[in-house]
């Protein structure tokens, strides 16, 4: 739920209006993953890269881009960010 709440906040800021997704909770189904555990220290050592962008910052950048991309400019072309 942390990811969804963060996405709602970021979209709200990008759009300039409140965004709240309708959430429908269902029982787990066969094959659903309840938790994952990953260690990325070996790949970081191999390639010398360690991600440093916090989730909310990255999502905010994405939603700002996405909202601009999806809006229509004055001449009707897609992909032109809103001013």
**Structure tokens of 44?**
């970081």
In-domain check, residue 42:
no
- For the segment 22-40, what is each residue's pLDDT rounded down to a tens digit? 999 999 999 999 888 888 8
What is the reported pLDDT for 57? 97
What is the reported pLDDT for 53? 95
Question: Could you say which residues of the chain have pLDDT below 70?
Answer: 72-83
In-domain check, residue 43:
no
Whether the Cβ atoms of residue 6 and residue 56 lie closer than 8 Å to each other: yes
In-domain check, residue 65:
yes
In-domain check, residue 34:
no
Domain span at residue 77 reads: 1-21+52-83
In-domain check, residue 7:
yes
Distance CA 20, CA 72 (A): 23
Distance CA 12, CA 25 (A): 22
In-domain check, residue 47:
no
Q: How many domains, the chain?
A: 1
């Amino acid at each position: 739920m942390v990811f969804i709440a963060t996405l709602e906040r970021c979209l709200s800021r990008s759009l300039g209006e409140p965004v709240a997704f309708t959430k429908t909770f269902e029982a787990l189904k066969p094959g659903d993953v309840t938790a994952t555990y990953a260690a990325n220290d070996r790949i970081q050592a191999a390639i010398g890269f360690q991600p440093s962008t916090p989730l909310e910052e990255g999502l905010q950048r994405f939603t700002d881009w996405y909202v601009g991309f999806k809006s229509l400019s004055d001449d009707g072309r897609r992909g032109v960010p809103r001013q």
